Amino acid sequence: MEAHTGDRLVTHGRTVGQHDRVAEIVEVLGDGGAPPYRVRSDDGHEHLLAPGPDSVVEHDPARDRGAGA
């Protein structure tokens, strides 16, 4: 798993009816984009997270567009 500041971390719900949790990655603490990550939830709380296999990184499209400009 590789992430950058500004990417979103999506943790899928594990049970029926449980919604996905989405958080913004505000700091990458591992080498080369690896976990752990400092994330900010929609409610403004920040915490450290080492995501499991039920999580995916959604890269920031604005950063991707800027790379080619």
Q: Identify the domain containing residue 53 by its residue range.
A: 8-61
Q: What does the pLDDT read at residue 63?
A: 67
Query: Which residues does 7 contact at the CB level (< 8 Å), separation at least 6?
Result: 24, 25, 57, 58, 59, 60
Q: Does residue 45 lie in a domain region?
A: yes
Amino acid at the residue 49: L
Q: Does residue 67 lie in a domain region?
A: no
Which phi and psi (to 5°) does residue 54 adopt?
-90, 15
Q: What does the pLDDT read at residue 67?
A: 56
Q: What does the pLDDT read at residue 66?
A: 63
Note the pLDDT tens digit of each residue in 9-50: 999 888 888 889 999 999 999 999 999 999 999 999 999 999
Provide the token pair at 67. Answer: 């790379």
Query: Which residues does 4 contact at the CB level (< 8 Å), separation at least 6?
Result: 25, 28, 33, 59, 60, 63
Q: Does residue 68 lie in a domain region?
A: no
Q: What is the reported pTM?
A: 0.80
